[in-house]
Amino acid sequence: MPIFYRKSDAGDIYIVPELLLALKGLDSQFLTGGILFLRQVVNGRIALDINHLRHLIEFLSGGVTLARVNFNLHNVTLPRTWFISLLQHINRRDNVETKLFDQLLALIRQVLSALVHGGEPAASFLFENRGMADMPALRELDIAPICRALGLTTPKFESWYGQGGMGSAVHHSTTDSPLDGLVQLCHESSTPPKQQLLPKNVTRVTFKSVDDVRRALNANPSAATLLSSLRADAPTFVPGGKKITGPEGRGSNAEGEAEEAGDRPDADTTDVADSQNLVNSIANTAAPLPQEAIPEAQLIIARKILKGYRRLVLQRELQQKRSPVEASCNSIHETCLKLSSNMDWPNGLYYKKLYLGLIPHLLICVNAAIVKKKPPTKAPVQPELNVEEDIVDDEDQDVDDYHVYDKFLN
């Protein structure tokens, strides 16, 4: 379909392979490919489940966040589910392009606008295979997660904590909401930020390796001892913190936030520019998939399975298109074939072939003659006194039909 091809100077490029390689996170352009896919979906209004769209936005936002600090996990604060997804899919650790970062922010803004205002732009967002143009209550459920994705991604230009109310709003995005809590990673070899400055809905994880992070985040978040094996004084992971820091609390944290920023890896801002003119010049980001040699034995088995599957599909299609007469003919053939399997046939299969060829043909002819002989069924209004006579006539006709079949079978 044309909507799944994006325009470029090198010609039309199929976007689905770009999405697959973006989710694998193996190539240095995996974020570029994912953003180009998202751009085609949003601008082309391709129908997509809203949950899949939200997960893609969160995956790209988290990937950009890590890429801009060269995948240095120390002092990075993201939602728990983001870390789990990113650490499972992304295998790159450096040299990942983020030149379409501004395009990602613009696309998130378009999605938010469609969710807020509804109408035709939201018709391509699907919930249970239905467009969300006229579902304001359902659209509201996705506004908060996407707003948080925008808030977590944007402050990386300088410092996560240096954006005034934005950082505080993201910190408390889990308060009295179904969104999962935030996790701050801290490497053991680095000086951790002051413990008392950490909001209650943000859990700090001290780690030595990426495997430590995976084990901690994949643990049961409702357990009271979550993350305690990594750090004795680590706070319990509480997704729904009840207290919101007031104006005084935010003011008292200003010095601590500035102090923490000095220990945080600086985000790379050299490639932040207007990339609108670069989109059409980007060639296919999906590298050719490796071709693996398939053994001949597997090919033979695959051909047999495919042949049987096609035969089954054809039979189902024919059964749906059969008329009553064709269904009757098929039943006669199946009956004869079943009877022939229990008979002894001399001289090989010669007489069996004659039986299966001649007998079904004769029965079909007799059946067609009987159907033709019978007058068309009508429902005339008759007195009640003739009902018994009609029953007797029908029984006589059935007896005659039975004798005709018995004559041909014997």
pTM above 0.85, yes or no: no
Question: Please, which contacts does 116-122 make with residues 24 or more away whose CB atoms are closer than 8 Å?
Answer: 116/143, 121/45
Provide the pLDDT for residue 397: 53
Provide the pLDDT for residue 199: 64
**How far from 359 is each of 331, 353, 365, 404, CA to CA, in Å?**
13, 10, 10, 13
Provide the pLDDT for residue 244: 41
Provide the pLDDT for residue 19: 86
Provide the pLDDT for residue 391: 47
Provide the pLDDT for residue 252: 42
Rounded Cα distance between 145 and 58, Å, is 8
For the beta sheet containing 77-79, the strands, ordered from the edge strand earlier in sequence to the opposite edge, are 77-79, 182-187, 202-207
Provide the pLDDT for residue 382: 54
Token pair listed for 141: 């459920």
Residues 6+ apart with CB under 8 A from 202: 77, 171, 181, 182, 183, 184
Radius of gyration of the chain (CA): 35
Are 248 and 242 in contact by the 8 Å Cβ rule? The answer is no
Are 32 and 284 in contact by the 8 Å Cβ rule? The answer is no
Rounded Cα distance between 372 and 370, Å, is 5
Query: From the DSSP assignment, how many helices (H) and strands (E) are in the chain?
Result: 14, 8
Residue spans of the domains in the chain: they are 2-278, 324-409
Provide the pLDDT for residue 243: 41
Which residues in the chain land under pLDDT 70? 1-2, 8-11, 91-94, 154-178, 191-200, 219-291, 348, 375-410
E strand or H helix at 127, and its extent? strand 125-127
Token pair listed for 369: 């003659």
Provide the pLDDT for residue 156: 45
